[in-house]
Amino acid sequence: MRLVIDFDYTLFDTACLRAKLIMALADFGITKKQFQETEKQVLKKGVYVLIEHLQQLSKISSPRVAVSDLVLAVDQVFFDLSPCVYGDAREFLEQAKQKKILITILSFGHLAFQKRKILASGLDAWADEVIVTDQPKEKIIDKWDKNDIIFINDRGQEIDKIKQKYPQLQAVWLHRKHTPYDTEPCHRADQELAKFNFNKIIN
């Protein structure tokens, strides 16, 4: 059995990280509104890149703040992101590890940024494999035995896309409330859960 688990808003509360970044940058007079507006500009390219965001914030800061100073402030945030890990996620990984179940964290996004988040969260210690990709996840899943996979994700549309291509794998929609995609529909999941539950997922 292989657990293939998404990172953002599945294992990790990304809103927690965002709040920590906003707090760190507030010391330079950067407001939450400025953070959010420049974040949207960066995301227009399709993938969030932290250094590009800091460059944008440097340009609009008043008085002007050097990018290097913003980088130093952000580095402090990434020293330890374990408080942003969902408690139920950590417990689930511990239980899966005890049962010697293969754990793969599969995350989409900017390679350096995603890897940095995962390492700072400490969740890499529970995983047998950490894969970060800027390609569709099905390209990674394609190389594994689909009959042996339990795919866990918060994105309903992503689950539907993968289940349409690989109906034989088991898909769990981790439908957390108050997250960016909690209103996104999901029609093909084998299970819908509000949080991790080992006994329901591993049956």
User: What is the chain's mean pLDDT, rounded?
Assistant: 96
DSSP conformation class of 123:
G
Name the pLDDT band for 46 (thresholds 50, 70, 90).
confident
Name the pLDDT band for 176 (thresholds 50, 70, 90).
very high
The beta strand positions in 53-124, using DSSP E, are 102-108
This prediction's pTM: 0.94
Q: Cβ contacts of residue 98 below 8 Å, gap of 6+?
A: none
Domains of the chain: 2-13+82-201 (3.40.50.1000), 15-77 (no CATH)
Which helix (H) or strand (E) is 150 found in, with range? strand 149-153
C-alpha distances in Å from residue 198, one per residue of 91, 112, 150, 154, 182: 9, 31, 12, 16, 21
Condensed to tens digits (0 to 9), the pLDDT of residues 126-150 reads 999 999 999 899 999 999 999 999 9
Q: Determine the pLDDT at residue 119.
A: 98
Residue 203 predicted with pLDDT over 80: no
Residues of the chain above pLDDT 90, percent: 95
Q: Cβ contacts of residue 144 below 8 Å, gap of 6+?
A: 2, 4
